[in-house]
């Protein structure tokens, strides 16, 4: 279909394939196959294929745009092995990507399938550099590196690369439904193979009768910005499975969370307990004043004092100093949603026994959003966080939450793979080295957030929890206590205030947290910008980008535009005539930009607040300080 061309077939009994983008070979010498105990699906006698072209568009429930085109050609190839077994491989070719997936249909003598190796191999061409994080079977909270490909020995997905001719690509997977998650191992110069997270017994994937893999997806672009608006991962998932989606509502939120990471309060009950009735109402009052739609309560339920023990958490019993029913009713009177919280500590076995009661408890109270957490070794003991066992668990919880009409924010997740198209109650996930690392470790440098949209962001929304305005964390320094072993004694958010506000637009999440303490926003200019901040968008445009260096973009909600930009440790200037503005319309708005003497380490809170007027053709000329940024809101005059 246009820019992408696929070639595949059999050669000496092996499946081969190659891919071109813009008439240039981007994947060559690819090979495919599966090793199953008792069944070899790596050598074949012949194959047949059927091809179909699809052109459709679908409406998003939430997202970076209100509708998505899904145009592709699909080729379903049926390979017959020398042992008489059938392997189906579906290939899809889009204008900006390519994907394939395996399917082993039910066949005689193969009721139990145990995958021991996925032999998906691809050799990339003309590579110059790549952006990657080390593969880890238990966490996605990693630093990213920009290196030549020879250093990327074992990487997590998404894996983003640039060729020497300026073509960009990202490799990920879509529709992880009942399989293990994928890492990539280097097996030769610019050559990688799929490596799956194993079960404790060494098997990679277990299935009954038939088996279907996730899609192995390759996103292509002529610029890094093309990757940010590539919808391949979503399009590879099936349409929405829910008949009614009116209850799924994106929102900004704040809540009892940052104070615990700062060490000014605790999750567990005691003199410094954070989730009390009084403190919850304080957040609710602030949210109502600031136009924020939700308030998160972490540490509301008993069990935090037994962290790490089997069955530690009770998911329906409040600590004595929190009256959850009273808090929910108070929030409702102010038009605020309460976001419940379920920390499991990785104890999935106990959670699965209690979760339906807990979800029903939330539904009866009127709580419609739940944040889940899995911060600890998972159960059963010996299983990996990102293996098939946990894939099954997360997808079970996703479907059960849909049954109880609960929206999900999943922390310590498996990597997202576009399943939110099918189950849009799966709103957002962490799976990123996020804001809390700034509270109790050396933190994240500006380059990190300039890399995330092109790496972790390819997988889907991320709950990075931005929006900190007390950058040096000084306002409550005397109240803080060290609780994390990574706390060095000197912590700060490595960004300017303008950068932190811009992240609310740049790092997309339909549940977007304004993470700082309420008192830090009071009388702050940021309140004017975050008031009624949208969490879903009708249109997104990339105005400039370079991976790890800067991101400039514009998002539209209704007739209101938000323009935002961030930079790494380098000072820059953003100049644009805002080509998306309507001709003959006057736009009024406000902006927060770095002051001329701002610097993310030396003077991070120096900002300039401006009221602005724009018409089509007028130029923005904003200076971004080191680690800086800007945010601009424009509303057409009636």
| 123 and 179 co-located in one domain | yes
DSSP per position, 348-410: HHHHHHHHHHHHHHHHHHT--EEEEE--S--SSTT--TTSHHHHHHHHHHHHHHHHTT-EEEE
Tokens standing for 178?
């009942």
The answer to whether residue 130 scores a pLDDT higher than 90 is yes
Question: What CATH code is carried by the domain that includes residue 197?
Answer: 2.70.98.10
| 207 and 271 co-located in one domain | no
Whether residue 623 contacts residue 593, with contact meaning beta carbons closer than 8 Å, is answered with yes
pLDDT of residue 82: 87
Comparing 40 with 450, the larger pLDDT belongs to 450
pLDDT of residue 490: 84
Tokens standing for 535?
């969490």
- Residue where a domain stops, chosen among 188, 205, 235: 235
Cis peptide bond N-terminal to 380, omega within 30: yes
pLDDT of residue 489: 81
| 99 and 17 co-located in one domain | yes
| 231 and 281 co-located in one domain | no
Cα(20)–Cα(33) distance, rounded to whole angstroms? 21
Query: Which residues, in sequence order, are CB contacts of 608 under 8 Å at separation 6+?
Result: 592, 593, 594, 595
Kindly state whether residue 390 falls inside one of the protein's structural domains: yes
Helix (H), strand (E), coil (C) string for 105-124: CCCCCCCEEEEEEECCEEEE
DSSP H helical ranges for 236-338: 258-262, 277-290, 324-333
The answer to whether residue 447 scores a pLDDT higher than 50 is yes
Kindly state whether residue 249 falls inside one of the protein's structural domains: no
Kindly state whether residue 268 falls inside one of the protein's structural domains: yes
pLDDT (tens digit, 9 = 90+) per residue, 517-549?
999 999 999 999 999 999 999 999 999 999 999
Cα(564)–Cα(554) distance, rounded to whole angstroms? 6
Kindly state whether residue 340 falls inside one of the protein's structural domains: yes
Tokens standing for 203?
């098997």
Under DSSP, is residue 146 helix (H, G, I), strand (E, B) or coil? strand
Comparing CA positions, the residue from 305, 302, 392, 299 lying closest to residue 340 is: 299
pLDDT of residue 108: 82
Mean pLDDT, all residues of the chain: 97
Q: Taking the chain, what is the end-to-end CA distance rounded to the nearest angstrom?
A: 43
Kindly state whether residue 351 falls inside one of the protein's structural domains: yes
| 86 and 199 co-located in one domain | yes
Supply the Cα-derived Rg of the chain in whole angstroms.
25
pLDDT (tens digit, 9 = 90+) per residue, 277-330?
999 999 999 999 999 999 999 999 999 999 999 999 999 999 999 999 999 999
pLDDT (tens digit, 9 = 90+) per residue, 194-250?
999 999 999 999 999 999 999 999 999 999 999 999 999 999 999 999 999 999 999
| 213 and 294 co-located in one domain | no
The answer to whether residue 597 scores a pLDDT higher than 60 is yes
Kindly state whether residue 569 falls inside one of the protein's structural domains: no
Percent of the residues in the chain that have a pLDDT greater than 90, as a whole number: 97
Kindly state whether residue 392 falls inside one of the protein's structural domains: yes
Cα(159)–Cα(161) distance, rounded to whole angstroms? 7
Whether residue 96 contacts residue 221, with contact meaning beta carbons closer than 8 Å, is answered with yes
pLDDT of residue 225: 98
The answer to whether residue 267 scores a pLDDT higher than 90 is yes
| 161 and 19 co-located in one domain | yes
pLDDT of residue 532: 92
| 156 and 288 co-located in one domain | no
Pairing of β 251-256 and β 511-513: parallel
Percent of the residues in the chain that have a pLDDT greater than 70, as a whole number: 100
Query: Which residues, in sequence order, are CB contacts of 239 under 8 Å at separation 6+?
Result: 58, 421, 422
Whether residue 204 contacts residue 117, with contact meaning beta carbons closer than 8 Å, is answered with yes
Cα(558)–Cα(120) distance, rounded to whole angstroms? 44
Domain span including residue 200: 4-235
Question: What CATH code is carried by the domain that includes residue 486?
Answer: 3.20.20.70
pLDDT (tens digit, 9 = 90+) per residue, 562-576?
999 999 999 999 999
Cα(604)–Cα(625) distance, rounded to whole angstroms? 9
pLDDT of residue 1: 45
Whether residue 195 contacts residue 135, with contact meaning beta carbons closer than 8 Å, is answered with yes
Q: How many CB atoms lie within 10 A of CB 565?
A: 29
pLDDT of residue 83: 86
- Residue where a domain stops, chosen among 477, 496, 515: 496
The answer to whether residue 443 scores a pLDDT higher than 60 is yes
pLDDT (tens digit, 9 = 90+) per residue, 7-35?
999 999 999 999 999 999 999 999 999 99
| 269 and 389 co-located in one domain | yes
pTM for this structure?
0.97
| 120 and 190 co-located in one domain | yes
DSSP per position, 541-609: EEEEEETTTEEEEEEEETTEEEEEEEE-SS-EEEEE--TTSPTT--EEEEEEEE-TT-BTTTBTT-EEE
DSSP per position, 37-101: TTEEES-EEEEEEEEEEEEEEEE-SSSSSSEEEEEEEEEEEEEEETTS-EEEEEEEE-SSEEEEE
The answer to whether residue 2 scores a pLDDT higher than 90 is no
| 94 and 193 co-located in one domain | yes
Angle (CA) 335 469 612, round 5°: 80
| 304 and 446 co-located in one domain | yes
Residue 354, classified by CB atoms within 10 Å of its CB into exposed (0-12), middle (13-18) or buried (19+), is middle
Cα(308)–Cα(394) distance, rounded to whole angstroms? 20
Using CA atoms, how far residue 562 sits from 225, 403, 536, 611, in Å, is 17, 35, 12, 14
- The CA-based diameter of the chain, rounded to the nearest angstrom, is 74
Kindly state whether residue 573 falls inside one of the protein's structural domains: no
State the total domains in the chain: 2
Under DSSP, is residue 283 helix (H, G, I), strand (E, B) or coil? helix
Edge-first strand order for the sheet with 511-513 is 426-429, 407-410, 369-373, 337-343, 294-297, 251-256, 511-513
């Amino acid at each position: 279909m246009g820019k992408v061309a696929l070639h595949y077939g059999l050669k000496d009994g092996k499946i081969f394939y190659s891919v071109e983008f813009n008439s240039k070979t981007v994947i060559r010498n690819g090979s495919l196959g599966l090793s199953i105990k008792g069944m070899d699906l790596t050598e074949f006698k012949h194959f047949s294929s059927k091809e179909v072209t699809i052109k459709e568009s679908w409406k998003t429930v939430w997202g970076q745009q209100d509708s998505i085109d899904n145009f592709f050609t699909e080729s379903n190839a049926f390979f017959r092995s020398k042992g008489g077994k059938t392997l189906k491989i579906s290939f899809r070719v889009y204008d900006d990507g390519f994907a394939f997936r395996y399917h082993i249909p039910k066949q005689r003598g193969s009721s139990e399938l145990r995958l021991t190796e996925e032999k998906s191999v691809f050799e990339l061409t003309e590579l110059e550099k790549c952006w990657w994080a080390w593969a880890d079977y238990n966490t996605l909270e990693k630093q990213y590196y920009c290196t030549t490909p020879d250093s990327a020995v074992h990487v997590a997905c998404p894996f983003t690369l640039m060729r020497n001719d300026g073509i960009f690509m990202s490799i990920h997977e879509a529709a992880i439904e009942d399989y293990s998650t994928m890492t990539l191992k280097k097996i030769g110069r610019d050559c990688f193979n799929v490596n799956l997270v194993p079960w404790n017994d060494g098997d990679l994937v277990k299935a009954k009768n038939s088996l279907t893999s996730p899609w192995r997806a390759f996103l292509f672009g002529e610029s890094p910005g093309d990757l940010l608006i590539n919808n391949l991962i979503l399009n590879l998932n099936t349409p929405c499975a829910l008949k009614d989606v009116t209850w799924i509502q994106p929102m900004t939120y704040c809540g009892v969370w940052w104070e615990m990471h700062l060490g000014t309060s605790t999750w567990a009950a005691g003199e410094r307990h954070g989730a009390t009735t009084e403190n919850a109402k304080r957040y609710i009052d602030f949210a109502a004043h600031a136009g924020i739609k939700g308030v998160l309560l972490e540490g509301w339920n008993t069990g935090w004092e037994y962290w790490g023990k089997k069955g530690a958490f009770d998911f329906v019993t409040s600590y004595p100093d929190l009256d959850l029913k009273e808090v929910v009713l108070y929030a409702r009177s102010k038009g605020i949603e309460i976001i419940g919280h379920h920390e499991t500590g990785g104890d999935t076995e106990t959670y699965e026994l209690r979760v339906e009661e807990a979800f029903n408890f939330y539904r009866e109270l009127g709580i419609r959003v739940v944040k889940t957490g899995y911060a600890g070794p998972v159960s059963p003991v010996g299983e990996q966080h990102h293996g098939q066992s946990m894939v099954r668990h997360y997808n079970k919880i996703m479907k059960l939450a849909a049954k109880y009409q609960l929206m999900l924010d999943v922390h310590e997740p498996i990597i997202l793979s576009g399943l939110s198209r099918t189950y849009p109650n799966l709103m957002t996930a962490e799976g990123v080295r996020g804001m809390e690392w700034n509270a109790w470790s050396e933190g994240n440098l500006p380059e990190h957030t300039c890399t995330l949209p092109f790496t972790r962001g390819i997988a889907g929304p991320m709950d990075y929890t931005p929006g900190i305005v007390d950058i040096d964390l000084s306002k409550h320094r005397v109240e803080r206590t060290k609780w994390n072993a990574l706390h060095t004694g000197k912590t700060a958010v490595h960004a300017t205030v303008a950068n932190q506000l811009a992240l609310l637009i740049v790092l997309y999440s339909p549940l977007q947290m304004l993470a700082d303490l309420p008192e830090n926003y009071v009388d702050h200019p940021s309140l004017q910008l975050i008031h009624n901040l949208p969490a879903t968008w009708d249109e997104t445009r990339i105005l400039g980008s370079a991976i790890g260096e800067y991101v400039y973009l514009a998002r539209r909600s209704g007739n209101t535009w938000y323009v935002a930009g961030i930079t790494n440790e380098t000072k820059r200037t953003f100049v644009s005539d805002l080509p998306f503005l309507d001709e003959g319309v006057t736009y009024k708005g406000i902006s927060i930009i770095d002051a001329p003497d701002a610097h993310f380490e030396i003077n991070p809170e120096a900002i300039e607040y401006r009221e602005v007027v724009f018409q089509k053709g007028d130029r923005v000329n904003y200076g971004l300080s080191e680690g800086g940024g800007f945010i601009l809101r424009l509303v057409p005059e009636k």
